[in-house]
Amino acid sequence: MAVLQQGQGLIGIALIVTLAWALSENRAARPSWRWIFGALVVQIALALAVTRVPFIWTLVGYANNAVAAVEKATLVGSSYMFGYTGGAPIPFMLKPGVEQPVIVAFQILPLIIVFSALSALLWHWGILRAAVRGLSWALRKTLGVSGVVGLGGGATMFLGVVETPLVLRAWFERMNRSELFMIMVLIMATISGAILVLYATTLSKTVPNAVGHMIVASLISLPAAVLIARLMVPGDGSMRAEDADADLKYESSMDAVIKGTMEGMQLVLAVIAIIIVVFALVNLTDQLLALLPYVDAQPVTLKRIFGWLFAPLMWSIGIPWDQAPAAGALMGTKTILNEYVAYLDLAALPADSFDARSKLIITYALCGVANLASVGLLVSTIATLAPTRRAEASALGMKSWVAGNMASAMTGAVIGLVTLA
How confident is the model over 350-375, as pLDDT tens digits? 888 999 999 999 999 999 999 888 88
The Cβ-side half-sphere exposure at 110, using a 13 Å CA radius, reads 20
* CA angle (291, 293, 296) in 5-degree steps: 135
Please state the length of the chain.
Answer: 421
Cα dist from 166 to 106, 147, 152, 412, whole Å: 29, 16, 10, 29
Sign of CA dihedral 345, 350, 356, 358: negative
What gap in Å lies between CA 392 and CA 399, rounded to an integer? 11
What is the C-alpha to C-alpha distance for residues 285 and 301, in angstroms, rounded to an integer? Answer: 8
Segment 184-209, tens digit of pLDDT:
999 999 987 677 877 888 888 888 88
Q: How many domains does the chain have?
A: 1
| Element holding 134 (H helix, E strand) | helix 127-143
Residues whose CB is less than 8 angstroms from the CB of residue 5 and which lie 6 or more positions away in sequence, other chains included:
318, 320, 421
pTM (predicted TM-score): 0.85
Quote the radius of gyration of the chain (alpha carbons, Å): 21
Helix then strand then coil, % of the chain, to nearest 5: 75, 0, 25
Task: Give residue-wise pLDDT tens across range 36-86.
Answer: 999 999 999 999 988 888 888 787 777 767 777 888 888 899 998 888 888
Q: Give the pLDDT confidence of 397-414 residue by residue, as tens digits.
A: 999 999 999 999 999 999
| 37-51, 164-178, 278-292: least confident range | 164-178
Tell me: pLDDT of 241 over 80: no
Neighbouring-strand partners of residue 298: 295
Instruction: Give the pLDDT confidence of 146-160 residue by residue, as tens digits.
Output: 888 888 888 888 777
Query: Could you list the residue range(s) of the whole structural domain that residue 234 is in?
Result: 2-90+99-418
CA distances for 394 relative to 230, 256, 400, angstroms:
18, 31, 10
Mean pLDDT of the chain: 86
CB of 413 closer than 8 Å to CB of 2: no
